[in-house]
Amino acid sequence: MLDHSDSPGKFVLMTTPGDRPRRSGFLSNLSSALTPPIVTDDDPDKPLVVPTTIKVSTLLTMLAGLLFLFLGVNGLMTLNSGLASAVTQYNQLVTECTTKVGGIGDQAKAPEGADKATTDLVAQCKPITEPTVTDAMKNNAKSRASTISWVLIVFGLAALATGWFLRTGVALARRAAVGLVIVTMIGTMFLQISTLFTMVATLFLVAAVLMCYLGRGGVYFAKTAMRRRTA
């Protein structure tokens, strides 16, 4: 509706709430996209060809598995050397705290007018409570690193197995891929191991899942399920 304004030659466009197009929410769009398509043109006498999207999703899932597997195995192989390096860095930091800011814990204080480097060093020294690395600290660090490595290995093996079965169009493999995405996201956040490699591997898994539900990938799984029901 047009409404004359006070200024001659000008008009103001007036709209009512009913004129505006309705926008569906993100969850509604996602639910619609992930709804299995209805297949009506499948010929059971013809062999079912694996589409390119499923081949790519298989490749991405297995690449993610290899990344997780590499991180886990590498973590176990470098466990002792990594621990030794961490102990050396800890001792160097304690020495720097003692010589530059008066010590560790509550003893660490920045002089008045100190520069940013000194105040940053104080912030690093205050949480330190032990002047040297104790056996308990070493055992805890080693146990945590070992646990993370084994979790990553399990993620890797699960992703490799899931990728292998995705090409067959089995619905269970697609569900396993979704579950794997959720578990890896929760696991990496819970263990605080969000590195560049884990993020890339998780993105590979997310992309693979989307390809299995959208477009030709979703149609392929729908056809596979339909043929197995009628077999």
CA-CA distance, 144 to 141, in Å (whole number)? 5
Least confident among 2-6, 58-62, 70-74, 95-99: 2-6
pLDDT, residue 129, reads 87
The answer to whether residues 87 and 182 touch, using CB atoms and an 8 Å cutoff, is no
- Residue in the block written with tokens 């886990």: 72
CA-CA distance, 172 to 146, in Å (whole number)? 31
The 3-state secondary structure of 160-195 reads HHHHHHHCCCCHHHHHHHHHHHHHHHHHHHHCCCCC
Residue 210 has pLDDT above 60, yes or no: yes
- Residue in the block written with tokens 């030794």: 84
Q: Which two tokens stand for residue 181?
A: 């995405």
Q: What is the pLDDT of residues 100-121, one digit of tens each?
A: 888 888 888 888 877 888 888 9
Least confident among 11-25, 79-93, 144-158, 209-223: 11-25
User: Quick one: the chain helix, strand, coil %, rounded to 5?
Assistant: 70, 5, 30
The answer to whether residues 62 and 163 touch, using CB atoms and an 8 Å cutoff, is yes
Q: What is the pLDDT of residues 38-89, one digit of tens each?
A: 555 555 667 777 888 999 999 999 999 999 999 999 999 999 999 999 999 9
Domain ranges in the chain? 52-230
pLDDT, residue 102, reads 86
